[in-house]
Amino acid sequence: MSKRIDRRNFIRGCARYSLGFGLAGLVGFTLKDTTSDEWVWQIDPFKCTSCGRCATHCVLNPSAVKCVHAYSLCGYCDLCGGYLKPGHISRDTAAENQLCPTAAIERKFIEEPYYEYKIIEDLCIGCAKCVEGCSAFGNGSLHLQIRHNLCVNCNECAIARVCPSDAISRVPASLPYKIKGGFEPGSVS
């Protein structure tokens, strides 16, 4: 003969199971938050069209977007399209010959006729002028990246919202950079 469950025990059992499931859910949710990857915003350099909005639409001023240099792709040439203004008078460091509006690219002589180009991040405003020059006339080694030591990781990135080529998306925080030329993530300079 089956055992009858009275109302009091039934309610007690339901409460016990509800509490158990609730606690398990809470633990699961907490664990998920602590073990899963966090996400940050990043630019896909192969989609970027150098529209200039990274400089003008970031909530930070100057922008958290900076030019980075894939040295493995660079031709180290004297006639760098990312450094020299179109129609430059001479190939030197004079301000009137430089393309960058803030002189954020440093040119260093290596050996005739090769030069190394380095981005001074404190001066870079992420305008992509050099990126466009480098892509059109060079190897495309200069490109934009969101620097995570500066980015405040807004819930809705202001530049992602206005990017005309949908080049900005969330990436796992463990792989925060999309660097051209086979660089390891994070190893930008």
Partner 1 sequence: MNKKIQILLIITILVIAGVVLYDSLSTRIHKRPDNPYQYSVDEFKSVDESLISHKELRRIDVENPVAFTYQNGKLFLLSGNQLQVITAEGRELLVKPLEPNPRNINVDNHERITIAYENYLVALDSGGNELHRSEILDENSLITSIAGSDNNLFVADAGRKQIWVLDEQLMVQDSFRGESGVSEVHGFILPSMHFHLAINAEKELWVTNPGMHMLQNYSFNGRLRGHWGQTSFGIEGFSGCCNPYFFASLPDGRFVTSEKGIIRVKIHKESGELESVVAPDELFPGGEKAPAIAVDEEDNIWLLDFDKKMLRLFRPI
Which spans of this chain sit near partner 1 (rule: CB under 8 A)? 50-53, 55-56, 75-81, 86-87, 91, 99, 101, 112-113, 127-129, 132-133, 136-139, 161-162, 164
Distances (CA, A) of 1 to 4, 9, 130: 9, 19, 87
CB closer to partner 1, 87 vs 182: 87
The least distance separating partner 1 from the CB of residue 173, rounded to whole angstroms, comes to 27
The least distance separating partner 1 from the CB of residue 99, rounded to whole angstroms, comes to 7
What gap in Å lies between CA 130 and CA 71, rounded to an integer?
A: 15
The least distance separating partner 1 from the CB of residue 159, rounded to whole angstroms, comes to 11
Contact (CB, 8 A) for 44 and 176: no
CB closer to partner 1, 142 vs 171: 142
CB atoms within 10 A of CB 26: 10
CB closer to partner 1, 24 vs 79: 79
The least distance separating partner 1 from the CB of residue 13, rounded to whole angstroms, comes to 49
User: What is the Cα 151 distance to its own chain's centre?
Assistant: 9
The least distance separating partner 1 from the CB of residue 94, rounded to whole angstroms, comes to 16
DSSP 69-86: E-TTT---BTT-TTTBPT
CB closer to partner 1, 163 vs 176: 163
CB closer to partner 1, 31 vs 136: 136
Amino acid at 124: C
- Residue 175 DSSP SS3: coil
Query: What's the length of the chain?
Result: 189
